Structure 1
């Protein structure tokens, strides 16, 4: 970062003019007391932007929120964990709309000013009988600096809440951006499987904000993978208001460029946290491709390596098996020449010119045994590069994801399945 930023507390509740709240509904389990319903609200009108899953099967809240964004700007987001409200037909659409309508009525907003997000098991109707009675307390609980509650309420298989807020000078005045994310499994590029919410007190037009969000997402959340799966509910939403008191940003002006850098940095930090907290992962691996003919070739190689089950399994075993890396490069459909490929682990060559390097294997094993390391792939054919963040694939991941029977057992008790 070429300008100073300060990490501050509060997450999405840190920027001026935003309040947050979270309550427990027992969405997944009526006996549980964990937070599972959250609300973010801007006290004043502003602008909003977002990106959504590229999966052709989209959850009801994704469809509803996309429609709301097309009509105008959001001032509130209501989100739940424990149930994805995906593949639930017209009932799912009705339930998502009911959630936005209930919040809008209590906040004196238009229904289209409330975004809806859900995460959890796919295919089960929402237990609205447990959710609807909690809307009053959810709205009444709105307050400043409660961002961590939002981060906790949207967790599913996450082991910890993931949030971050920063402040920095913009045109001589202090401004803030706050964010929180969830996601641990079903993480793949082109909208990773996740929910991510961001707030800022920097005013700008809807188009300016959307451009900033698309750029930042492309260089952060679209560059992570844990297991190569993509969900039906992936959503990134950003709300902006003018509570900082500065003049609205002018597209491509110096203040706008500075804001984009800050947003990109913040999203990148949280994207890395998603990978580090992946389901039963033990390794965080940065894969950088250099010297590709084109940006697309570099991206193809990085994605092939980072998604390969064989490569990820070798990382879990502490095995610096560069043969698995180069075979993934070969099927990536990128334009490559085998005899030009170099592969390095934390700067130490494992492969030179497509052949085994003379680096002692014990030294490479020490690198792959670490919880975090880097792999550089030099294609030596051009100037394009690309990087991604990935993880290993563990036996524990498979065991963790073998069954969701408990969800369906509870659903039958609720009369929903």
Structure 2
């Protein structure tokens, strides 16, 4: 299957518009803080949310609105998470939805809500309500640019991707935008991600495809080990590509799933690469595990290790930290069979063989670790399963950013 990367973000598929404005939640008037995604017709819809026990108010509203498997719009604010605000927060999340529904002249239940920002601060709902008219009037095909900017918090770059594929002689388009830079830890993270598509698919299969794609993408990244209260992943499929509706797991379903995984993995990697204070994207690939679950636990353990992350920041080929992280993962394996490699565009080097040191060239290792994308490859040699997770290094700037986040 050919996957073609195209321009357009969340508005690339047929029938989708978007907008982003400044409404006053952020102090800086130049910073956009309110976004809207709109489908010109009701769409099959699904969501995946944080597994944190403490959840933002918008999650409860969006879960309820997704119960029938359909939606037509998503309103998103940055600058305030609307979390830990009790009934006040829940009421304001509902008001976000109802005010946008009124502006669009659609049912309140067809509007999803997402928020990101500081936890425990009351949401200025009046600033949102007073600006939903402007937000709605600003909807356009070009609005994906403003929308992706409006959802950013500590992100340093916008995260967008659009692709198309061919299914049943029809061109199917998927668009997306996401935010996430800190408080990133599976399962789901301080991330918001929005995927739009014009494919015609049943709500049941759309929900299943979204979960499967999240499991191999967003749930396999980590920046700092802190799991957020507000992570939300939404997908809307409005059927305007006019393919025969996908109602069973046939060839067309799996082609769509492959495309969905492609876009999800690429967005997830963009988040990991843009981790707060990060200078490098890290991938840990576990090869030869006894099960996928074991491989995932081992890979997460390495990618989450502060000592591994700081070693990568310092370009230090300290492979002992990797074995240490594998050892406390809780997974049973044979340390005497482990091989460790560092790889990048500058080359590949083995630094540990059969659980012991090898006489490797430190200068060569330094050259490899100076690159912006580093692969930590671990061979267990005990099974047939492999898994990759993604993260970033840990720099001085991470502490600076998070030391005065509320300032």
Normalised by the length of structure 1, the TM-score is 0.94
Alignment-derived partner of residue 44 in structure 1: 41
Q: 1:400: how far off? A: 1.2
Alignment-derived partner of residue 156 in structure 1: 153
Judging changes above 3 Å, is the alpha-carbon distance between structure 1 residues 259 and 405 closer, same or farther for their aligned structure 2 residues? Answer: closer
Q: 2:323 aligns with which of 312, 323, 326?
A: 326
Alignment-derived partner of residue 380 in structure 1: 381
Provide the aligned length of Structure 1 versus Structure 2.
403
Q: 1:126 aligns with which of 123, 128, 133?
A: 123
Q: 1:251 aligns with which of 230, 248, 262?
A: 248
Alignment-derived partner of residue 372 in structure 2: 371
Q: 1:296: how far off? A: 1.5
Residue pair 2:69, 2:204 contacting (<8 A) in 1 also: no
SS at 1:366's partner residue? helix
Q: 1:358: how far off? A: 2.0
Corresponding position: 1:88 with 2:89: no
SS at 1:16's partner residue? coil
Residue pair 1:11, 1:145 contacting (<8 A) in 2 also: no
Alignment-derived partner of residue 360 in structure 1: 361
Alignment partners' CA distance in 2, 1:310 and 1:123:
31
In structure 2, the gaps of 5 or more residues are none
SS at 2:201's partner residue? coil
In the TM superposition, 1:270-281 aligns within 5 A as 270-281=267-278
Q: 1:250: how far off? A: 3.2
Deviates more, 1:66-75 or 1:301-310: 66-75
Residue pair 1:25, 1:33 contacting (<8 A) in 2 also: no
Alignment-derived partner of residue 221 in structure 2: 224
Q: 1:238 aligns with which of 228, 235, 240?
A: 235
Alignment partners' CA distance in 2, 1:292 and 1:174:
39
Alignment partners' CA distance in 1, 2:291 and 2:242:
43
Residue pair 2:20, 2:148 contacting (<8 A) in 1 also: no
Q: 2:342 aligns with which of 331, 345, 353?
A: 345
Q: 1:108: how far off? A: 2.1
> CA deviation digits over 1:189-226, x for unaligned, max 9?
21122000011000111111011101111111111111
SS at 1:55's partner residue? coil
> CA deviation digits over 1:301-348, x for unaligned, max 9?
101100011110111111010000000111111111111111111142
Alignment partners' CA distance in 2, 1:350 and 1:261:
34
Deviates more, 1:137-146 or 1:298-307: 137-146
Q: 1:261: how far off? A: 0.5
In the TM superposition, 1:7-406 aligns within 5 A as 7-29=5-27, 31-346=28-343, 347-406=348-407
SS at 2:397's partner residue? helix
Q: 1:120: how far off? A: 0.4
Residue pair 1:293, 1:335 contacting (<8 A) in 2 also: no
Alignment partners' CA distance in 2, 1:318 and 1:214:
36
Alignment partners' CA distance in 2, 1:169 and 1:100:
35
Alignment partners' CA distance in 1, 2:44 and 2:382:
43
Alignment partners' CA distance in 2, 1:361 and 1:385:
28
Alignment partners' CA distance in 2, 1:357 and 1:202:
52
> CA deviation digits over 1:226-274, x for unaligned, max 9?
1111110000000011111221113211111111101110111111111
Residue pair 1:53, 1:235 contacting (<8 A) in 2 also: yes
Alignment partners' CA distance in 2, 1:403 and 1:126:
20
Q: 1:72: how far off? A: 4.0
SS at 1:231's partner residue? coil
Alignment partners' CA distance in 1, 2:182 and 2:332:
31
Alignment partners' CA distance in 2, 1:385 and 1:7:
27
Normalised by the length of structure 2, the TM-score is 0.97
Alignment partners' CA distance in 1, 2:179 and 2:40:
25
Deviates more, 1:196-205 or 1:289-298: 289-298
Residue pair 1:10, 1:146 contacting (<8 A) in 2 also: no
> CA deviation digits over 1:9-33, x for unaligned, max 9?
211111101111111112021x523
Residue pair 1:185, 1:193 contacting (<8 A) in 2 also: yes
Deviates more, 1:184-193 or 1:321-330: 184-193
